[in-house]
Amino acid sequence: MPLALVNARFSARSARRWRLLAPGLGRRLLGAFRLVTAQSAADAARLRALGAAEVLTPGNLKDAAPPLPADAAALAALRDAIGARPVFLAASTQPGEEAIVAAAHARLALAQPGLLTIIVPRHPDRGGAIADELAPLAVVRRAAGALPGPETEFYVADTLGKLGLFYRLAGVCLVGGSLVPHGGQNPREPARLGCPILLGPHTWNFEEPVARLLAEGGALRVAPEPAALAAAAGAVLSNPDRGQAMANAAAAALAAEAGLPDLLAGMLIGLLPGAGPGDVPKEVCVTPP
């Protein structure tokens, strides 16, 4: 039975642990796989160092994932409630980030009248604590079934699986987990939905796509303090053409791997017993380096 390890991610931290705790096990384990593909060149290098004989890097399957969905009725209701107000989104936030976002909001609101800041915590059960932290400012929680009103300053979206709504509504977003040393969340999601992206300094969980987005101008790096965050968000909100240029650059940076699922499917078909060259479509055939 041929085995394949597909779209592997192997962090530097995990690599260190494997080297210390099981230096010989990695070679025996990885030697069982006929095909190993890694998300990035760095992941591939760490897998080879652990003992993988050959690792291919055709790309990251996450780059080919479809855009996050959004319920049409819920999206329409939010758009009606928000109207023409500028929207700053802090997505998938971690503890410690909401305070920075709140202080940035205070600065940003001076230049962006009617500003609505939407906070989507990575863990929705923190919604109540976040609302308490933001008090006495005007805060509304989605978990309570509420929509933002005209006076709402902060909308805490403490429900699961709804980021597709808020990336479609925001004029600019901070990808959370990056202002604090958590490693950052997935920047591909806002990129696919045309939402301009801000990133803090801590993005090691997504090194490769972050590097591409920054190099192509599809994202901006910000320091983890309110003034820098407010300045970066304000520069995008006050200049829609800049935001659109960032969105276009982000989409282009991730467009190259749209055909990756077909490519990997062809690799897997090639492993099947009895499969020959004619069983794999020419467009997905590859020759390992």
Residue 273 pLDDT > 60: yes
3-state secondary structure of 40: coil
Please, is 161 exposed, middle or buried when counting C-beta atoms within 10 Å of its C-beta (0-12, 13-18, 19+)?
exposed
- Give me the phi and psi of 266, to 5 degrees please: -65, -40
- pLDDT of 208 higher than 90: no
Which percentage of the chain shows pLDDT scores above 90? 76
The average pLDDT across 56-67 equals: 88
Q: Cα separation of 230 and 179, whole Å?
A: 13
Q: Take residue 191 and report the two structure tokens written for it.
A: 């990129």
pLDDT-based confidence at residue 288 (cuts at 50, 70, 90): very low
For residue 283, the model assigns a pLDDT of: 45
Q: What is the model's pLDDT at position 159?
A: 95
- Which percentage of the chain shows pLDDT scores above 70? 95
Query: Do residues 88 and 108 touch, judged by C-beta distance below 8 A?
Result: yes
User: How far lies 1's CA from each of 148, 225, 255, 273, in Å?
Assistant: 55, 53, 34, 8
Q: What was the pLDDT predicted at 236?
A: 98
Mean pLDDT, the chain, whole residue set: 92
* 3 state SS of 251: helix
Q: Inform me whether the pLDDT recorded for 15 exceeds 60.
A: yes
- DSSP 8-state secondary structure symbol assigned to residue 56: B
Q: Note if the bond before 136 is cis, omega within 30 degrees.
A: yes
Confidence of residue 282 (pLDDT cuts 50, 70, 90): very low
Q: How far apart are CA 127 and CA 156, in angstroms?
A: 7
Structure tokens at 75: 């999206």
Residues 6+ apart with CB under 8 A from 223: 200, 201, 229
pLDDT at 284: 45
pLDDT at 254: 86
Q: Lowest-confidence range among 141-145, 211-215, 249-253, 277-281? A: 277-281
Distance between CA atoms of residues 259 and 63, nearest Å = 10
Residue range 157-205, pLDDT digits in tens? 999 999 999 999 999 999 999 999 999 999 999 999 999 999 999 999 8
pLDDT value at residue 287: 40
Q: Where are the domains of the chain?
A: 4-59+259-284, 72-255
CB 217 within 8 A of CB 236: no
Q: Which two tokens stand for residue 110?
A: 């001076």
Starting at the earlier edge strand, list the strands of the sheet with 87-93. Answer: 139-141, 154-156, 116-121, 87-93, 172-175, 197-199, 219-221
How many helices (H) does the chain have, and how many strands (E)? 12, 9
Which amino acid appears at position 140 of this protein? V
> In this structure, how many other beta carbons lie within 10 angstroms of the beta carbon of residue 38?
26
* pLDDT of 286 higher than 60: no
For residue 289, is pLDDT > 50? no
The H or E element that residue 38 is part of is strand 35-38
CATH of domain 72-255: 3.40.50.2000
CA distances from 81 to 116, 191, 197 (A): 11, 25, 24
